Amino acid sequence: MEKYKVTFQQDGKLKHLIIHSSDISKENLPPNVIKIEPLRKSWLKYEKPHTLKKEEVSNFFFELNIIIKAKIPIYDALEILHKGTKNPLLNEIILKMREALQNGQVLYIVLKPYEKYLGNIVISFFKIAQENGNLDDSIYSLSILLKDINENKKLISQKLRYPFVLLVSLFFSLFSIFNFVIPQFEFIFEQYHTSLPFATVALLGIKDFLMNYFLFILIFFVIISLILFSKYKKSQIFRYKVDEFIITKVPFIGPIVFLIYMHRFFLSLKILIEANYKFQSCIINSSILLKNKYLLDRISHINKAIQSGESIYEAFTKSTLFNELTLRLISTGENSNALLLSVNEIEKIYKQKLDEKIKLFSSLIEPIFIFTIMLLIVWVILAVLVPLWSMGEVINV
């Protein structure tokens, strides 16, 4: 939405009017307009752009689903939400949706320019609705999926909040010790020219190294990080190898990432099966939730195997992603024509495992950080007090 300054004449005087509009030609302008100037944003008067939080998007579709379930047409439901929404960007999106419905336009194409705010999941589900002609079911599925994803993110952030505080405390402790504590005692040690123990020599050496080369180390890591990030974005092969390494080699983090994506995948699969979509279509559309290139490649192999005529069980087995319990449930669901029940159980299993892994990670990382801080304190005490005791003995003699 742009900002315009309208200059017009009224009662023999020049007057000005500021208008916010995405299309100034459609606005109801005053008579006797002399000129219209677009106002550019000045760096001196920075105006924060409107954004959408993930929680706002989730709440919007959750409320939209509730209104639709009350048998209110989607066009009227959007009007109700438009009146109760304060976020200007979300209001703009709602108006675009209403215009699309009114003019018979394709919703996912209209919403495509807002993908960075809504997320690719929203666009993909509206594309599913367009292909299958079932907008209400797609909104229902989308509301459940977004709500569950947000709840999982909250759970993870809550569990990792305390370890993060400990990590920040550790770095702050190191900074304080090397900048304020050690220099005071280093001056005393230099006065007496006594032989220092290894703990003290190591501490002073590390302090000198960090004080002299910290800026270079920081610049080095920033440059390396930017290079790796750029290569990760541009090179599909490099991205695949990095994603594979995270899933298969990194302890603790890898299994958690795997469980997060698999839970989302099976949750989406369950929702789409409930909406009576074909199983193969459910797999294709659920794979949009997989940001990990390695997992996405494995799931695409499942789709190709089913397309070539293999059974669902065989396709899942060849992906080499799933354990025996998951494969047995898939086989049971396929043979008994009850895939929905099997996928529902698998989703619950991955949800439970994800919760357990996050709790385990949180419970392990806390004592590790505490133990590290304790070792640091003991090291500093020994490095400082032992030379002081030695100096005290020399003085007494």
Q: Which domain holds residue 136?
A: 54-149
Which pLDDT value is given to residue 112? 87
Which pLDDT value is given to residue 350? 92
Indicate yes or no: pTM above 0.85.
no
* Together in a domain, 182 and 82: no
The domain boundary residue, chosen from 111, 127, 149: 149
Q: Is residue 43 part of a domain?
A: no
Percent of the chain at pLDDT exceeding 90: 19
Which pLDDT value is given to residue 392? 59
In the predicted model, residues of the chain with pLDDT beneath 50 are 42-49, 394, 397
* Together in a domain, 172 and 298: yes
The domain boundary residue, chosen from 149, 172, 204: 149
Q: Is residue 319 part of a domain?
A: yes
* Together in a domain, 140 and 258: no
The domain boundary residue, chosen from 81, 114, 149: 149
Q: Is residue 47 part of a domain?
A: no
Q: Is residue 46 part of a domain?
A: no
Which pLDDT value is given to residue 70? 87
* Together in a domain, 308 and 396: yes
Q: Is residue 44 part of a domain?
A: no
* Domains in the chain, number: 3
* Together in a domain, 124 and 158: no
Q: Is residue 48 part of a domain?
A: no
* Together in a domain, 227 and 202: yes
Q: Is residue 218 part of a domain?
A: yes
Q: Which residues pair with 20 in a beta bridge?
A: 3
* Together in a domain, 88 and 210: no
